[in-house]
Chains A and B, each alone.
Chain A
Amino acid sequence: MFYRENGQFKSSYAADQQLLPILQDRVFMVALVAFAFVVVPLVVSDYVFLSLLIPFLILALAAIGLNLVVGYCGQISIGHAAFMAVGAYAAYNLVLRIPQLNFLIVLVLAGLVAAAVGMLFGIPSLRIKGLYLAVATLGAQFFMDWLFARVKWFTNYAHSGSVQTAPVELFGWSIDSPQEKYVFLLAVLILFTVIARNLVRGHIGRAWMAMRDMDVAAEVIGIRPVYAKLSAFAVSSFFVGVAGALWGFVHLGSWEPAAFNLTLSLNLLFMIIIGGMGSILGSFFGAAFIVVLPIVLNQLPQFLGIPMSTAMISHLEFMIFGALIVFFLIVEPHGLARLWAIGKEKLRLWPFPH
Chain B
Amino acid sequence: MARNWPVVLLCAALLVGLALPLATGASPPGFYVEVLLGGLMTGVLYSLVAMGFALIFKASGVFNFAQGAMVLFAALAVARLAERMPLWAAILLGIVVMIALAFVIERVVLRPLVNQEGIALFMATLGVTFFLDGFGQTVWGSDIYKIDLGIAKEPVMVLQGLFQGGILINKEDVAAALVAVALVAVLALFFQKTATGRALRAVADDHQAAQSIGIPLNRMWVIVWSVAGIVALVAGVIWGSRLGVQFSVSLVALKALPVVILGGLTSVTGAIVGGLIIGVGEKMAEVFLGPVLVKTFDLAGGGIENWFAYVLALLFLLVRPQGLFGEKHIDRV
Contact = CB atoms under 8 A, between A and B. Distances in A.
Interface stretch (A94-102, A134-142, A244-252): A134-142
A130 interface: yes
Given A139-B307, A315-B137, A330-B112, A273 B123 contact: yes
A151 interface: yes
B229 interface: no
Contacts of B116: 329, 333
A353 B299 CA distance: 67
B127 A136 contact: no
A104 B126 CA distance: 36
Interface stretch (A28-36, A41-49, A178-186, A318-326): A318-326
A267 to B, nearest CB: 10
Contacts of B120: 329, 333
A161 B300 contact: yes
A329 B127 contact: yes
Contacts of B303: 146, 149-150
A128 interface: yes
B313 interface: yes
Nearest to B141: A311
B299 A150 contact: yes
A317 interface: yes
A138 B138 contact: no
What bracket does the count of chain B residues touching chain A fall in? Answer: 35 or more
A226 interface: no
B122 A134 contact: yes
Nearest to A272: B123
B142 interface: yes
A214 interface: yes
A323 B118 contact: no
Interface centre among A124, A216, A273, A315 (most CB of B within 10 A): A315
B29 to A, nearest CB: 30
B125 to A, nearest CB: 9
A135 B124 contact: no
A314 B302 CA distance: 32
Nearest to A74: B119
A325 B306 contact: no
Contact of A150 (B142, B300, B311): B300
A131 interface: yes
Contacts, number: 150
A131 B265 contact: yes
The secondary-structure label for the interface of chain B is: helix
B217 to A, nearest CB: 18
Interface string B290-326: 0000000111111110110011011001100100000
B253 interface: no
Nearest to B257: A135
B277 to A, nearest CB: 15
Interface centre among A146, A266, A317 (most CB of B within 10 A): A146
A124 B134 contact: no
A311 B135 CA distance: 12
Nearest to B310: A139
A340 interface: no
B311 A143 contact: yes
Nearest to B62: A131
Contact of B297 (A138, A149, A151): A151
A217 interface: yes
Given A132-B261, A315-B142, A325 B321 contact: no
Pick the 10 closest A-B CB pairs, nearest first: A139-B310, A322-B131, A318-B134, A325-B127, A322-B130, A319-B134, A326-B127, A143-B307, A142-B307, A131-B63
25 contacts: A76-B119, A124-B318, A131-B63, A131-B261, A132-B261, A132-B321, A134-B63, A138-B257, A138-B310, A152-B300, A216-B331, A216-B332, A217-B333, A220-B333, A269-B126, A315-B137, A317-B134, A322-B127, A326-B109, A326-B128, A326-B131, A329-B124, A329-B127, A330-B112, A330-B124
